[in-house]
Structure 1
Amino acid sequence: MRTIEIHSVDGAEILEQLNQHLHGNLKEQWGEYVLEFKNDWGSGTIRSIAFDWGISLVDYDVNFKEELKLIFQIGEINPIEFVFISEGNLKYYYKTTDQPYELERYQNIIISPEKQEKEVYIFPKSVDVKVNFIYIIRNEYFKKKNNNLSFLSESLYSTFQDDSSGKPYKHQGNFNLKIADQIRQLQENYDTGIVRTLTIEGQLNLILAMQMLEQSNFESGQSLPDSLSKTDIRKINQLAGYIIDNISEPLTISTLSMESGLSSKKLQAGFRTLYSKSVNEYIRQLKLEVSRDLIRNTDDSISEIVYKIGFKSRSYFSKIFSERYGILPTEYRKKIKVK
């Protein structure tokens, strides 16, 4: 495992300290710093930009060849960190914890370390990781006119208050695809100059609002329509097993919704979160994988296999099998027999 120590919360300084190890190309344009690297450490792009009122962004799109331990030792300044992983995963711990916390994809995460605390983020080996860090320096943000912080949940408002900034805080909330979509727009911003800067600032404020709203609803026991709890995720995982066991049956969204107890909207969101596919796309892929195994490992006729995976039309099955695997089912069987 490789280790890098960071001694700043300033985005530009973070990138400079990272580059002392990553030996990439660091450049600045329109107030935005961009570090690109591709070498023995791995490859990727890390961006940073800072705004008034103590708000800054550090965005990672990286893949490291070894596990990377990123250690932050930043002294008296302990920012509030709004973290969102849109691809991959991270581990996180601070000095008082025995076991690292698993930070998961699409989960809303808010962290504020204790003063003088050492924070550690562990990036996995050979995994594409896209993670968005929005840092807020409390005493600067409090100077912002109409900050309306008093409308936050009690726990988050307490965390924002400068006189209580020595207290640690960690929120691992629900999984939310709307936040993921907003961050994707942030990452795909191709504007230039002032338009780019203003767009990024507006998007950051919207992402912050969405993360604060999710935290507030989470603590009050409510759920946003596009949020998924760990219980919801567990039900989706169980549903995947149910689909396998009933692959020959008509598997409609309403049937699966009744089986899982989840609304059709949550069902679709769950499959998008876990498998990056709609429910129907996932079922179709699973049927094709099962059919391929049956062709390879049994003497069942193609018509029998079509029946076993719940398709009514052999011609339709042949069409989508060919689209998926680049070969017709009958030709695939002949190829297997030859081997």
Structure 2
Amino acid sequence: MNEIFVKSLPLKDVIANIAEALDTTYFNRCNEYILNIPEIYGEGSIRGINFLNGFGLIEYNCTLKEALKIHFNVNSIHPLKFIYCSKGSVKHKFEEHDVLHQIEQFQNIIVASTQQNGHILIFPKNENIHLNSLEISRKEFKTKIDCDLNILDVGLKKLFKDLTARNLFFYQGNYSLAMSDCIDTIKTSKFSGIARSLFLEGKSNEILSIQISDYEDDKKDIPKRQILRKSELVQIQKAVQILKSELSKPLTIKELANKVGTNPTKLQEGFRYNFGLTVNNYLNKIRLDYAKEQIMIGELNISEIANNIGIANKSYFSRLFKATFQLNPKEFSLQIAKNANKRQRNRPLT
């Protein structure tokens, strides 16, 4: 395992120290410091940029040939770190503790070390890692948020007020869909120069606000949590499969949420995120898609089709079908037959 020691702040020094350890160079593009991983060590890049008020962002997007342990040494007071992992997994530990924290894909952590000690990040070998860390210099950043500190969760309030780094702080959670979208926007950004600097600063502020919101949601009792996490999308896919397999007797939203291990609020959020529809609207969509397909096949009558999708009221079924396909089921069936006859008449003689 390769092992290097870097300064914690400013991020220019972090990049410079890593570049020196890897025997390579880095370059400055509008105050964003960029290091390309030498081929002998792997591939990818490490970027760091400082904003105003002691706020910065460092991004690791790389695959390493050997595991790498980075020690972040304390200059005077170690910065707060808001870390999120969008690809792969890394380990974190405090210098004074032996406990390793595994940060998996779609997880985020908030960490603060004591004044005398720093952090260690351990990157595995042969695994593509995409990890971002918001770095916050405590005293400088406090001037930015001082007037809003009293409305923060008590834990975060103590964290931001701990200007002399007397207390350890560690929180780990799964980040939200909003966080995922924000990260994806940064990944795909085409901005350059000063436009990129402004864009990154805005997105970094947005990510910080989302992480604070995610943290506060995690502090609630499980049934009261409302923010759907990226890692929970598998539950939404399970819900979709249940709806498709039980069209004739669909579960209520509450029953469906319980069956996949979430709550109705998160279930609705997941369907809106994936399909732009509520659960009931999505259910009606797949009901009507099934009905349309069965009418085209022509093996079932309208009543049988309505029963198969759990709609006993044929009049209601007809209204739903017409609202979607501009024809009621009977008209649609006649149109299918008419088109089939027309194709038959136009078929060339052999």
TM-score (norm: length of structure 2) = 0.66
Aligned counterpart, 2:245:
250
Question: 1:55-100 CA distances to partner (integer Å, 9 max, x unpaired)?
Answer: 0111110111111111112143111101011111111111343331
Residues 266 and 104 from structure 1, CA distance in 2 versus in 1: closer, same or farther, beyond 3 angstroms? Answer: farther
Q: CA deviation at 1:210?
A: 0.4
Q: CA deviation at 1:270?
A: 12
Residues 121 and 146 from structure 1, CA distance in 2 versus in 1: closer, same or farther, beyond 3 angstroms? Answer: closer
Q: Does residue 1:20 correspond to 2:20, yes or no?
A: yes
C-alpha separation in 1, matches of 2:136 and 2:153: 17
Aligned counterpart, 1:91:
91
Give the letter for the 2:228 counterpart.
D
Aligned counterpart, 2:340:
none
Which consecutive residues of structure 1, in runs of 5 or more, have no partner in the other structure? 272-339
Q: 3-state SS of the aligned residue for 2:139?
A: helix
Q: Which segments of structure 1 move beyond 6 Å, counting only runs of 4 or more?
A: 266-271
Q: Does residue 1:143 correspond to 2:143, yes or no?
A: yes
Give the letter for the 2:229 counterpart.
S
Aligned counterpart, 2:329:
none
Residues 18 and 217 from structure 1, CA distance in 2 versus in 1: closer, same or farther, beyond 3 angstroms? Answer: same
Paired positions, count: 262
Aligned counterpart, 2:206:
206
C-alpha separation in 2, matches of 1:94 and 1:118: 6
Question: 1:32-56 CA distances to partner (integer Å, 9 max, x unpaired)?
Answer: 1111123121111111110111001
Residues 79 and 225 from structure 1, CA distance in 2 versus in 1: closer, same or farther, beyond 3 angstroms? Answer: same
CA contact (8 A) 1:177 1:269 kept: no
C-alpha separation in 2, matches of 1:147 and 1:32: 29
Q: 3-state SS of the aligned residue for 1:144?
A: helix
Give the letter for the 1:226 counterpart.
L
Q: CA deviation at 1:178?
A: 1.7
Worse overlay, 31-40 or 184-193: 184-193
Question: 1:169-210 CA distances to partner (integer Å, 9 max, x unpaired)?
Answer: 011023323212102212322222322221111111111000
C-alpha separation in 2, matches of 1:210 and 1:162: 21
Residues 236 and 144 from structure 1, CA distance in 2 versus in 1: closer, same or farther, beyond 3 angstroms? Answer: closer
CA contact (8 A) 1:83 1:132 kept: yes
RMSD after superposition: 3.1
Aligned counterpart, 2:228:
226
Q: Does residue 1:178 correspond to 2:178, yes or no?
A: yes
Question: 1:128-167 CA distances to partner (integer Å, 9 max, x unpaired)?
Answer: 1001110111110122276512221111111111455221
Aligned counterpart, 1:152:
152
Percent identity between the two aligned chains: 26
Aligned counterpart, 1:70:
70
Aligned counterpart, 2:134:
134
C-alpha separation in 2, matches of 1:216 and 1:13: 33
Q: 3-state SS of the aligned residue for 2:175?
A: strand
Residues 22 and 159 from structure 1, CA distance in 2 versus in 1: closer, same or farther, beyond 3 angstroms? Answer: same
Q: CA deviation at 1:16?
A: 0.7
Which consecutive residues of structure 2, in runs of 5 or more, have no partner in the other structure? 275-350
C-alpha separation in 2, matches of 1:45 and 1:143: 32
CA contact (8 A) 1:175 1:228 kept: yes
Q: CA deviation at 1:26?
A: 1.1
Residues 270 and 83 from structure 1, CA distance in 2 versus in 1: closer, same or farther, beyond 3 angstroms? Answer: farther
Give the letter for the 1:220 counterpart.
K
Q: 3-state SS of the aligned residue for 1:15?
A: helix
C-alpha separation in 2, matches of 1:45 and 1:251: 48
CA contact (8 A) 1:228 1:266 kept: no
CA contact (8 A) 2:113 2:167 kept: yes
Aligned counterpart, 1:31:
31
Aligned counterpart, 2:122:
122
**Higher-Rg member (1/2):** 2
CA contact (8 A) 2:8 2:78 kept: no
Residues 109 and 66 from structure 1, CA distance in 2 versus in 1: closer, same or farther, beyond 3 angstroms? Answer: same
Give the letter for the 1:122 counterpart.
I
Residues 131 and 98 from structure 1, CA distance in 2 versus in 1: closer, same or farther, beyond 3 angstroms? Answer: same
